[in-house]
Amino acid sequence: MTRPTRAVLWDLDGTLVDSREHHWRAWHAAMAADGITITEEQFAASFGQRNDAILTGWLGARATPDFIARVGDDKERRFRELVERDGVILLPGVSHWVRTLGADRWVQAIASSAPRLNVEVTHRALGMAEWFQAVVTAEDVRHGKPDPEVFLVAAQRVAVPPTRCVVVEDAAAGIEAARRAGMRSIGVGPGVGTAADITVAALADLAADAFDLLIPRS
């Protein structure tokens, strides 16, 4: 008898890979090129959001559509250059869990607010593509997290019902998106708050049966 399919939907930046410093440097340089200074506190509060939401949050009405497109594109270009030049690394526990879950017949997908080109350059830097059955990026959805759209699209692409999906996230907006999607969640790191079903400092700290506890085999 075939057991019901289960899926893990992974956020990318800050969850699978340690790209925070690259994003901070890219944003700081792109904004400075327009004579605008941002603080690390502003950056930290926006991490994991789409560029339109980030820039509107920082600048309000000054963030016109043309400004968002121009500065956002500049920031992402700078980010990709940093990844290609300096590389990125998997966060602690990621390799173990992705391989373990794959061997245990979990379906896996990336569900990210990042542009597709960023995800592709990260894949190239890490050789990650074969681990995932689907990738959903900013271009695939109309609304960013905490809207649940990115996770619902990912679940649809891997043909797994939302109730059989576990979201892994490092941001409170992503945990809220998982809740709205009707999915279980694992929060990683200090920025997830207390709403996740399981919260750990790092994926390496997860109990061996953590995913099975959230969605049993049958």
Delineate the domains of the chain, giving CATH numbers in brackets. 7-18+89-214 (3.40.50.1000), 20-86 (1.10.150)
Three-class SS state of 212:
helix
Reported as a pLDDT band with limits 50, 70 and 90, residue 4 is low
CA-closest candidate to residue 106, choices 118, 114, 98 = 98
pLDDT by residue (tens digit) across 163-185? Answer: 999 999 999 999 999 999 999 99
pLDDT by residue (tens digit) across 72-92? Answer: 999 999 999 999 999 888 999
Sole residue written with tokens 């699978």: 16
Say what the pTM is. Answer: 0.85
Residue 211 tokens read as: 């995913």
Q: 174 in the Ramachandran plot: left (φ > 0), alpha (ψ -120 to 50) or beta?
A: alpha
pLDDT by residue (tens digit) across 118-167? Answer: 988 988 887 878 889 999 999 999 998 999 999 999 999 999 999 999 99
Mean pLDDT of 100-104: 94
Our CA angle for 104, 107, 110, nearest 5°, is 130
- The helices-and-strands tally (H runs, E runs) of the chain is 9, 6
